Amino acid sequence: MTSTKDRTISRGDSGALIGFCIAGVLIAAYITVFSIIRIIELARGVDVPVLIEFAPDASAVDLPLSTGGSVAVGLDSGTIIAPQLPAIAAVPGIIGQVLQIITILVVIGCLILLARSTVSGRIFGRGRTALVATAGITGLLGFASVRFFDNMLANATVARITDNGIDNAVMSVEPFTFILGAFVIALICTVFSIGDRLQRDTDGLV
């Protein structure tokens, strides 16, 4: 005889998961509001702060000292205030913010559904594995795309304001970070898939 009866979890664990869901909703709401404000700022196109990253060979600047003279320091990033943001820069920036909203909502939505199903006592299952995979892949590709469009915004802004006078970085996504993220997501999905099979085997013995 088989049994697929769900396990129950403690009240403390249930409370922690409910707290996680509430925190997820608040995070999603905060990032959504922030992104909407940024979209309005980019669409307006006046005095827009744009974060740029500098190429390694162009990152040395002279920092004045209080005792006189200066010292060379490395500069990884900085913010440029664009008096008039060109459309070629604003459009990628807006696309990036829209993708950020979608990515956050999908990732947090999947994790909340996963937490909700866990409260019921059923941790592993094909549906749960699909939720983990969807959250992981969406997060990986989504944030990489946001990074890419933000880089387009920065490059276009620098090109227009400085007439290509600043050599800023053009790499949108760090390959190592992307590969590491993909590895972690694949590992988690594998764990959930194995857990699902083990749980089904265990239920078949009950």
Residue pLDDT tens, the chain, 206 long: 444 444 556 666 677 777 878 888 898 999 999 999 999 999 998 888 888 877 666 556 777 777 777 777 777 777 888 888 888 889 999 999 999 999 999 988 888 887 777 766 666 667 777 888 888 888 888 888 898 899 888 888 888 887 766 666 555 556 666 676 676 777 777 766 776 666 665 555 45
Structure tokens at 64: 């004045």
Beta strands in 2-128 (DSSP E): 46-53, 60-64, 70-74, 77-84
CB atoms closer than 10 angstroms to residue 103: 21
Domain ranges of the chain: 11-63+73-205
**In terms of Cα–Cα distance, which of 35, 69, 74, 62 is closest to 169?**
74
Taking the C-alpha atoms of residue 114 and residue 22, their distance in angstroms, rounded to an integer, is 13
